């Protein structure tokens, strides 16, 4: 029999198996904590911090996608402090990358009244679209570094290890070994990465060409 843990989320007592994350415990009782980098079928890494919640007794906000429940824990998923943190995160994202193609980010920005012009002095991370193979294009100016593509290319699915983080700090981006074209890497073009990309940074080439055609029509 699995050990059950009792905790309180948004003033309601809930009992879940030990090892459950706060995110899934909340989901049990119908509370959906917003996420961006989290994907149900990828390893969670708490990178984007949009899922942060307040846990009583904890000095800092806690990422619900990785933090495990503990007995007697008291969690608040929607306090002013939490909302403010999420709003700021979204505004920083919108200030640094092109989120126009990401339905998830746009929806959350609306939910949290986030303004894309909050940080006018920010420098956007721009990069050229990479069209180096017949299957999909990469536009890293739309990348929010959620890590999903890297993980499905690795142990989460494919064991191919064609892409990874490269660079440090502000310069961090997703890249290939020595920045080679994808056809020169171990890439097998399974497109697992394209399927989990939440922002349109990775896109089937065919879809991209159709969009370009649409744009040409409306221009």
- Residue ranges binding another protein (CB under 8 A): 40-41, 101, 103, 133-136, 152, 155, 157-159, 162, 180, 182-192, 194-195, 200, 204-207, 210-211, 214
Q: What is the DSSP string of 19-43?
A: T-BHHHHHHHTT-----SS--TTS-
Cβ closer to another protein: 63 or 200? Answer: 200
Report, in Å, the least distance between residue 113 CB and another protein. Answer: 22
| Partners of 74 in beta bridges | 8
Cβ closer to another protein: 63 or 198? Answer: 198
Report, in Å, the least distance between residue 33 CB and another protein. Answer: 19
Report, in Å, the least distance between residue 211 CB and another protein. Answer: 6
Dist CA 55 CA 174 (whole Å): 33
Running DSSP on this structure, what letter comes out for residue 171? G
Please identify which residue in the block is written with the tokens 């999420």.
86
Burial of 93 from C-beta contacts in 10 A (0-12 / 13-18 / 19+): buried
Cβ closer to another protein: 127 or 160? Answer: 160
Dist CA 102 CA 35 (whole Å): 13
Cβ closer to another protein: 90 or 194? Answer: 194
Report, in Å, the least distance between residue 183 CB and another protein. Answer: 6
């Amino acid at each position: 029999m699995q050990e059950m843990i009792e905790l309180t989320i948004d003033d309601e007592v809930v009992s879940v198996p030990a090892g459950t994350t706060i995110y899934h415990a909340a989901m049990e009782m119908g509370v959906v904590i917003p996420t961006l980098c989290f994907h149900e079928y990828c390893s969670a890494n708490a990178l984007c911090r949009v899922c942060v919640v307040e846990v009583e007794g904890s000095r800092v906000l806690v990422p619900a996608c990785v933090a495990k429940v503990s007995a007697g824990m008291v969690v608040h998923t929607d306090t002013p402090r939490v909302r403010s943190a999420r709003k700021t995160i979204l505004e920083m994202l919108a200030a640094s990358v092109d989120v126009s193609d990401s339905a998830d980010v746009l929806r959350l920005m609306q939910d949290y009244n986030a303004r894309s012009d909050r940080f006018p002095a920010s420098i956007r991370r721009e990069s050229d679209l990479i069209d180096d193979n017949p299957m999909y294009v990469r536009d890293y100016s739309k990348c929010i570094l959620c890590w999903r593509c890297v993980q499905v290319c690795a142990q989460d699915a494919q064991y191919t290890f064609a892409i990874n983080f490269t660079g440090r700090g502000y310069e961090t981006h997703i890249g290939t070994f020595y920045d080679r074209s994808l056809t020169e890497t171990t890439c097998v073009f399974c497109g697992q990465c394209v399927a989990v990309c939440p922002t349109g940074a990775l896109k089937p080439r065919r879809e991209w060409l159709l969009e370009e055609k649409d744009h040409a029509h409306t221009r």
